Amino acid sequence: MSRAFVFRIEYEAMEPKPRSPQDSVEFPLVVPSKEGKPGFFSYIRSRLITGVLVAFPLVVTLFFGRFLFNLLDRWFYPWSMRFLGRPVPGLGAAIALLLMFFLGVAAHNVLGRRLLRLGEAVLTRIPVLRPVYLGAREVSRAFSRDRTQGFRRVVLIPFPCEGAWCVAFQTGEFEAKGPSGPVPMVAVFMPTTPNPTTGFFLAYPKSAVRTTDLSVEEAVKIVISGGLAAGDLARIFKES
């Protein structure tokens, strides 16, 4: 099979198809072929494949939720054993959610912010924990709603080669010295699929970067889904 033929098949599969009333909730329905009368095994096969496709994201979500729930619960097992004499399922997760709530309350309070800055100063002085904490902090700040508008700008960069474009987030602008004078540059964070919290920090000439009218939420959805949740793919190249 030629490479051009493979690309044509993949591109047609990615093209948005008109919705019908039966897939208004965007379930991945597998409809049997209309050629001839569908038989019993064709009916079973289409429903079984549809069930697998619908169950896959649910299973992944439940698996991740169960993993996180058990992780938080195990952290507080010693406390429940010490004060209650037995492990209490769900107590650790409830306490963790309560602690995160109070951290949010403290972050909105003047005194609480001072205490958090004091704890941050202690963590940043520990050699082993310093790079881990600072890296995680920058990632959380990158996707928070109170970032500057410049950081939240979605752009397209030529990666991994010329002619190919990748979704990235602009983090800043600066000038670099060139043979004929200063060259305007942009710094971008290119997230990876399916985990947008990891990626690469890259710098490009401003003229090599394309703008787009995608929002950060839309871009993150595209990265996580590998482009399957892009909707109209042509909109990615619509300049703002």
User: Where are the chain's structural domains?
Assistant: 77-123, 153-237
- Given this model, what pLDDT does residue 138 score? 72
Q: Give the number of residues written for the chain.
A: 240
Q: Quick check: 24 pLDDT over 70?
A: no
User: CA 107, CA 111: separation in Å to the nearest integer?
Assistant: 9
In 3D space, the residue among 158, 188, 155, 191 whose CA is nearest the CA of residue 173 turns out to be: 188
Q: Which residue has the tokens 């787009």?
A: 212
CA distance 31 to 23: 11
Report how far residue 77's alpha carbon sits from residue 48's, in angstroms, rounded to the nearest whole number: 41
pLDDT tens digit sequence for 108-139:
888 888 888 888 888 888 888 888 888 777 76
What mean pLDDT do residues 83-103 have? 82
pLDDT attached to residue 204: 92
- Mean pLDDT taken over the chain: 76
- 236 close to 214: Cβ distance less than 8 angstroms: yes
